[in-house]
Amino acid sequence: MIINKINISTLNLHCLFFFLLVILLSCQQKIIFKERREILDGTWNTENKQLFITEITDTLSPCNVYFYFTHTDNYQFSNIWLFLTITNPQNYHIKDTVEFSLVDDYGKWEGIQYGTLIIHAFPLKSNVVFPKYGKYELKFEQAMRKTELPEVREIGIMIEKL
């Protein structure tokens, strides 16, 4: 009787482990590109443009593109303005200006807080299909009114298939 309970418990653990492994692997397969960059000295200068380069091989599947922004709780602003330049494999440039709000209606930080750090993940482009194979560049410039933006720790992007 005890042996049967142990075998069933062991079998349940193996099934649970296999199930979790399948979930993790299937989630990872959806992520095409993910990279984060530390902002040196915690100050993002307007001259410090952040360039992310990814190789796109699937021109059929729609994707979501996310922008990550990490700052301290001493960050002075309730938002972040960015200049975004996307360059496709044929060297065609698309420029955009985007703003992300970092606080809710009551002035409380949105995102996930770990100690003094606040991490945000914003949808940048939704349901986008990359039309050409090859290297795509995404360049981010901080576009706030101050040349130096203190208390910024890192930025990043993630591209996932839908």
- Quote the Cα angle for 34-27-116, to 5°: 55
Total structural domains in the chain?
1
6: left (phi over 0), alpha (psi -120 to 50) or beta: alpha
Q: Which strands form 117-128's sheet, in the order they lie side by side?
A: 31-38, 152-161, 63-72, 117-128, 112-114
* Owning domain of residue 39: 32-161
**What's the longest Cα–Cα distance across the chain?**
73
Separation of alpha carbons 93 and 97, rounded Å: 13
Can you give the CATH number for the domain in which 96 is found?
A: 2.60.120.260
What's the pLDDT tens digit per position in 12-31?
444 444 554 445 455 557 99
Paired strand residues for 86 = 94, 138
What pLDDT sits at residue 21? 42
What pLDDT sits at residue 28? 53
Mean pLDDT over each residue of the chain, to the nearest integer: 88
What pLDDT sits at residue 152? 98
Residue 13 within a domain: no
What pLDDT sits at residue 5? 52
Residue 58 within a domain: yes
What pLDDT sits at residue 161? 96
State the average pLDDT over residues 100-112. 97
Residue 143 within a domain: yes
What's the pLDDT tens digit per position in 133-148?
999 999 999 999 999 9
What's the burial of 10, exposed, middle or buried (CB within 10 Å: 0-12/13-18/19+)?
exposed
Residue 18 within a domain: no
pLDDT band at 10, cuts 50/70/90? very low
Residue 106 within a domain: yes
Cβ pair 102, 35 in contact under 8 A = no
What's the pLDDT tens digit per position in 43-65?
999 999 999 999 999 999 999 99
Residue 16 within a domain: no
Residue 25 within a domain: no
What's the burial of 109, exposed, middle or buried (CB within 10 Å: 0-12/13-18/19+)?
middle
What pLDDT sits at residue 16? 43
